[in-house]
């Protein structure tokens, strides 16, 4: 059961080959067997899942089921789920049970999907390795000594080990695409505003965007169909029709113009990863695409710009975690100051504190112009680079990450080395563009992801470009030996 695509699962459920309860139980059994070794889930929602599965079976019997009714999934623990703990992988929210569902969760529930549980992640989505979680690091199913990427590392490990057929993730600077790359998955970060952020615990509000993490482009398209859409509760969500993302999956790529930014193939890129990406590009040429070198001259500014904007926004967003309005409260506070100091001191991990300090500094009077304002100006330069590029090409391609999955602990003492893991993904968030990572091969037994970046609201085109490649290759179908 656990190697079927969403369409196959849907067909089996509709024909009665197995029920949603049976399918859900199958995944719960797999989680039970493998989660201790991977640490991919923070919360497993057995009872909740089986109840949802029963309701789905009823819809299937009554023929009121939709395409995804009865199919299980996992949610990153950043999405508020009514009645289920939502921790954001922080001690701060260890005991937080949301009184409402995030819009994404609400929509997916309405589609009749079954929530298996909440996946591990970097604390408040800050990280590229899933090592900053209060609940411990997640392991990469391809090599248990290596990281799965972050911050959606739990969702990535879950799908790679087939503990769920699909999952949600969020991407502020690469957190869907980079773990997808490191775990051999298809991950899509939609255009900023395409998917509602309501009920998604905010990290950096002008960058955060939710999207599907899947085994294939077709599966990702099916889940995006349910996730996308205007939401009046998110003032930055865009009022624009949601197409059926599966309609154009098979369009021909004849004449597709691919741009390869020279800045994405610089010295920082591992040479074996580069060779894998070259081979993927050749495959696209054989499918009818043409290739041209382009330049995104301000790429080098993206990491420093992001590490002003994201901490600034997070310092503001996380101020609500004060032990009064939200979050962990220290024992026996002496007075109000002591309550704030100790609650926040005890509740937040090291990386989160580092970012709050950087952000508070960058926003403080006297420094605002030098840092935050400057960063906003750089952000404009970065998005103008893309605008220029899309005058000449249909899609931009390159590596998702500079290396394959690195060893646990390898970068934990060097925040800047960790930040550079997102060097190719961050500019997309700064510009608000959609981006994908798709499996493109292996180096030393570890997956390599190819990144596709599209123009605004061109998710359907990206999915088409990804799907055609997946029709011609079988990288995305490879699964780690221990989890077959």
d(CA 162, CA 168): 14
Under the binding rule (CB under 6 A), the answer on residue 433 touching ligand GLN is no
Q: Residue 151 catalytic?
A: yes
DSSP calls for 416-473: HHHHGGGTTTHHHHHHT--EEEEEEEEETTEEEEEEEE-STT-HHHHHHHHHHHHHH-
Binding mask 221-260 for ligand GLN (x = CB under 6 A): ----------------------------------------
Q: Is 129 a catalytic residue?
A: no
Least Cβ distance, residue 27 to ligand GLN (angstroms): 26
Name the minimum Å distance from CB 350 to ligand GLN.
13
Tell me the C-alpha distance between 4 and 128, whole Å: 29
Catalytic residue among 20, 129, 151, 196: 151
171 binds ligand GLN (CB under 6 A): yes
Reply yes or no: is the peptide bond before residue 151 cis, omega within 30 of 0. yes
Stretch that binds ligand GLN, among 36-44, 171-179, 282-290, 385-393 (CB under 6 A): 171-179
Out of 23, 92, 125, 274, the only residue in the binding site for ligand GLN (CB under 6 A) is 125
Is residue 127 involved in binding ligand GLN (CB under 6 A)?
A: yes
Number of helices (H) and strands (E), helices first, in the chain? Answer: 15, 11
Q: Is 175 in the site for ligand GLN (CB under 6 A)?
A: yes
CB of 302 to ligand GLN, least distance (A): 11
Q: How far apart are CA 209 and CA 292, in angstroms?
A: 29
What is the sign of the dihedral through the CA atoms of 267, 417, 87 and 47? Answer: positive
Instruction: Return the CA Rg of the chain.
Output: 21
**Does residue number 126 form part of the binding site for ligand GLN (CB under 6 A)?**
yes
Provide the token pair at 121: 């992640």
Q: Which of 10, 12, 19, 76 is catalytic?
A: 76
Asked whether the beta carbons of 309 and 379 are under 8 A apart, the reply is yes
Residue 157 CA to residue 180 CA, distance in Å, equals: 9
Please report whether residue 128 would count as binding ligand GLN according to CB under 6 A.
yes
Q: Does 447 bind ligand GLN (CB under 6 A)?
A: no
Q: Is 175 a catalytic residue?
A: yes
Shortest spacing between CB 448 and ligand GLN, in angstroms:
18
Q: At what angle do helices 350-363 and 302-317 cross, to 10 degrees?
A: 100
CB of 307 to ligand GLN, least distance (A): 8
Active site residues: 76, 151, 175
Q: Which residues bind ligand GLN (CB under 6 A)?
A: 125-128, 151, 171-175, 203, 310, 422
């Amino acid at each position: 059961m656990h190697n079927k695509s969403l369409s196959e699962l849907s067909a089996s459920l509709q024909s009665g080959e197995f029920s949603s309860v049976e399918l859900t139980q199958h995944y719960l059994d797999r989680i039970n067997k493998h989660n201790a070794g991977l640490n991919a889930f923070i919360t497993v929602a057995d009872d909740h899942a089986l109840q949802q599965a029963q309701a789905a079976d009823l819809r299937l019997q009554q023929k009121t089921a939709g395409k995804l009714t009865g199919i299980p999934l996992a949610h990153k623990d950043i999405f508020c789920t009514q009645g289920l703990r939502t921790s954001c992988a922080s001690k701060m929210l260890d005991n937080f049970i949301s009184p409402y569902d995030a819009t994404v969760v609400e929509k997916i529930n309405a589609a009749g999907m079954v929530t298996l549980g909440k996946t591990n992640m970097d604390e408040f989505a800050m990280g590229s390795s899933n090592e900053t979680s209060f609940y411990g690091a997640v392991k990469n199913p391809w090599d248990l000594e290596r990281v799965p990427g972050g911050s959606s590392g739990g969702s990535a490990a879950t799908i790679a080990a087939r503990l769920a057929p699909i999952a949600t993730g969020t991407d502020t600077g690469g957190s869907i695409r980079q773990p997808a790359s490191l775990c051999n998955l298809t991950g899509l970060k939609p255009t900023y505003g395409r998917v509602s952020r309501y009920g998604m615990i905010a990290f950096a509000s002008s960058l955060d965007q939710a999207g599907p993490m899947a085994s294939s482009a077709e599966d990702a398209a099916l889940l995006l169909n349910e996730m996308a859409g205007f939401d009046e509760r998110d003032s930055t969500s865009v009022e624009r029709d949601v197409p059926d993302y599966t309609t154009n999956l098979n369009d021909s790529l004849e004449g597709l113009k691919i741009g390869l930014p020279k800045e994405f193939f610089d010295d920082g890129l591992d040479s074996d990863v580069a060779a894998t990406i070259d081979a993927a590009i050749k495959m696209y040429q054989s499918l009818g695409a043409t290739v041209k070198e382009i330049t995104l001259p301000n790429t080098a500014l993206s990491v420093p710009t992001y590490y002003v904007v994201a901490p600034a926004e997070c310092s503001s967003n996380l101020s609500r975690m004060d032990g009064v309005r939200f979050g962990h409260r220290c024992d026996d506070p002496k007075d109000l100051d002591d309550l704030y100091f100790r609650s926040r001191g005890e509740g937040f991990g090291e990386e989160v504190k580092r970012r709050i300090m950087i952000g508070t500094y960058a926003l403080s009077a006297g420094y605002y112009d030098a840092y935050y304002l400057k960063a906003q100006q750089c952000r404009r330069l970065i998005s103008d680079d893309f605008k220029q590029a899309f005058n000449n090409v249909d899609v931009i391609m390159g590596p998702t990450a500079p290396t394959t999955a690195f060893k646990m602990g390898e970068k934990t003492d060097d925040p800047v080395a960790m930040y550079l893991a997102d060097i190719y993904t961050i500019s997309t968030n700064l510009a608000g563009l959609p981006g994908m990572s798709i499996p493109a091969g292996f180096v030393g037994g570890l997956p390599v992801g190819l990144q596709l970046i599209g123009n605004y609201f061109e998710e359907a085109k990206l999915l088409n470009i990804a799907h055609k490649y997946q029709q011609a290759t079988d990288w995305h179908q490879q699964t780690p030996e221990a989890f077959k």
